């Protein structure tokens, strides 16, 4: 546990490079305050002092990068499982990496990897979750919420961290062995946009269709008049209509 870190993901990546033999699956770096939190594609993740839960977990995949397919979705499931410990049992998931509550963003997940294709992939599982965000102080740029707004009080961050870490350590061994396949139904039951029309943004390109869930690799299935198209995590951003 650190008081202040630029980013718990960056700190964990440093540890993978500098002291890999000291790391075991499930090791976690937590920060009280994160000063330079990141989202995907270098976007910013805002975390108010004392009002956010930010941590990163280490997990290795000996079969390499390809065996991580669907990891951000699996982590979303673990966050939802952990949230039950503080009385939140209707969180939803937005493909590929966000946790929503009452239609607004509650938490983000950032998966990064150190290691070569073919060799062991050393993954960093970063989670940022809004516990109590001061109103109007942060320009987040999209609808967001926090646990205090939903519950009427700010839950204990240590208990919440413990519950999410526990859920991750529970789900990750099965995921490592069997991939995302066994979790598809669970994920689809929590899909924010299940059977809804969505818009996918890929750089300048846009693609619209109906969300038909995910496959065993965690790819999103989008239905149009031409049939089903699969989208993989890295390339696209998804919005409702
Ligand atoms: P994508 O669907 O491509 O993942 P995203 O907008 O969810 O798009 P992320 O990279 O997951 O992008 O997260 C970064 C974005 O999240 C920021 O650009 C900002 O709009 C939003 N954001 C930043 N801090 C917070 C926060 N504390 N709570 C909710 N949303 C936040």
CATH number of the domain encompassing residue 220: 2.30.30.100
Name the residue range of residue 141's domain.
2-189
The yes-or-no answer on residue 40 being catalytic is: yes
Residue nearest atom 13 of ligand 1, based on CA coordinates? 39
Give the nearest ligand 1 atom to 142 CA: 20
User: Which residues are CB-neighbours of 158 under 8 A, at least 6 positions away?
Assistant: none
pLDDT score for 117: 67
Ligand 1, residues 53, 105, 234: which to mutate, most atoms within 8 A of Cβ? Answer: 105
Q: Are residues 48 and 153 in the same domain?
A: yes
Q: Are residues 63 and 166 in the same domain?
A: yes
Q: What is the ipTM of this complex?
A: 0.94
Q: Determine contact, residues 2/32, Cβ cutoff 8 Å.
A: yes
pLDDT score for 184: 98
Domain's final residue, options 189, 210, 232: 189
| CA–CA distance, 136 with 240 (Å, rounded to integer) | 24
Q: Determine the distance separating the centroid of ligand 1 and the alpha carbon of 45, expressed in angstroms.
A: 6
Q: Are residues 41 and 137 in the same domain?
A: yes
| CA–CA distance, 130 with 231 (Å, rounded to integer) | 28
Q: Determine the distance separating the centroid of ligand 1 and the alpha carbon of 118, expressed in angstroms.
A: 31
- Rounded to 10°, the helix 157-178/71-83 angle is 140
pLDDT score for 49: 82
Q: Are residues 185 and 223 in the same domain?
A: no
Domain's final residue, options 151, 169, 189: 189
Residue nearest atom 1 of ligand 1, based on CA coordinates? 237
Q: Are residues 140 and 205 in the same domain?
A: no
Number of neighbours of residue 236 by Cβ within 10 angstroms: 18
pLDDT, one tens digit per residue, over 83-140 is: 999 999 999 999 999 999 999 999 999 999 987 767 899 999 999 999 998 776 778 8
Q: Are residues 171 and 60 in the same domain?
A: yes
Q: What percent of the chain has pLDDT over 70?
A: 98
Q: Are residues 159 and 71 in the same domain?
A: yes
Give the nearest ligand 1 atom to 238 CA: 2
Residues forming a β-bridge with 229: 222
pLDDT score for 171: 98
Q: Are residues 99 and 138 in the same domain?
A: yes
In the chain, which stretches have pLDDT less than 70?
117, 136, 235
pLDDT score for 2: 75
Report the relative pairing of strands 104-114 and 220-224 from DSSP bridges.
Answer: unpaired
Token digits for 29?
A: 């770096």
pLDDT score for 235: 66
Q: Are residues 29 and 83 in the same domain?
A: yes
User: Which residues are CB-neighbours of 34 under 8 A, at least 6 positions away?
Assistant: 4, 5, 6, 7, 8, 45, 47, 52, 54, 128
Q: Are residues 184 and 211 in the same domain?
A: no
Token digits for 60?
A: 């290795």
Q: Are residues 114 and 20 in the same domain?
A: yes
| CA–CA distance, 236 with 80 (Å, rounded to integer) | 23
| CA–CA distance, 187 with 237 (Å, rounded to integer) | 18
Ligand 1, residues 9, 37, 38, 39: which to mutate, most atoms within 8 A of Cβ? Answer: 39
Q: Give the sheet arrangement for strand 98-101, strand by strand.
A: 2-5, 28-34, 52-61, 121-130, 104-114, 98-101, 92-94
How much of the chain is helix, strand and coil, in % rounded to 5? 30, 35, 35
Q: Are residues 49 and 143 in the same domain?
A: yes
Task: Outline where 121-232 has alpha helix (H).
Answer: 147-151, 157-178, 184-189
The yes-or-no answer on residue 104 being catalytic is: no
Cα diameter, the chain: 52
The yes-or-no answer on residue 205 being catalytic is: no
Which contiguous run of DSSP H or E holds residue 74? Answer: helix 71-83
* Domains of the chain: total: 2
Kindly name the residue from 13, 15, 38, 40 that is annotated as catalytic. 40
Q: What is the CATH number of the domain that holds 174?
A: 3.30.930.10
Domain's final residue, options 151, 171, 189: 189
With a Cβ cut-off of 6 Å, ligand 1 is lined by 39-40, 43-46, 97-98, 105, 108, 130, 140-142, 144, 237-238
């Amino acid at each position: 546990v650190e008081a202040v870190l630029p980013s718990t993901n960056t700190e964990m990546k440093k540890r993978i490079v500098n002291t890999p033999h000291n790391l075991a699956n499930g090791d976690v770096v937590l920060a009280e305050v994160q000063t330079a939190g990141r989202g995907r594609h270098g976007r910013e993740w805002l975390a108010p002092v004392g009002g956010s839960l930010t941590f990163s977990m280490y997990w290795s995949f000996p079969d390499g990068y390809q065996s991580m397919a669907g990891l951000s979705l699996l982590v979303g499931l673990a966050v939802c499982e952990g949230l039950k410990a503080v009385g939140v049992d209707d969180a939803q998931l937005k493909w590929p990496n966000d946790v929503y509550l009452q239609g607004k963003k509650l938490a983000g997940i950032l998966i990064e990897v150190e290691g070569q294709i073919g060799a062991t992939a050393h993954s960093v599982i970063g989670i940022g979750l809004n516990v109590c965000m001061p109103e109007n102080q942060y320009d987040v740029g999209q609808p967001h919420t926090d646990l205090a707004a939903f519950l009427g009080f700010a839950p204990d961050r240590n208990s919440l961290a413990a519950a999410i870490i526990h859920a991750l350590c529970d789900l990750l061994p099965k995921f490592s062995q069997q991939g995302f396949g066994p979790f598809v139904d669970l994920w689809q039951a929590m899909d924010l946009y299940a059977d809804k029309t969505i818009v996918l943004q890929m750089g300048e390109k846009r693609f619209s269709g109906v969300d038909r869930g995910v496959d065993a690799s965690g790819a999103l299935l989008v239905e149009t008049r031409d049939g089903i198209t699969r989208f993989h995590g890295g390339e696209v951003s998804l919005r409702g209509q």
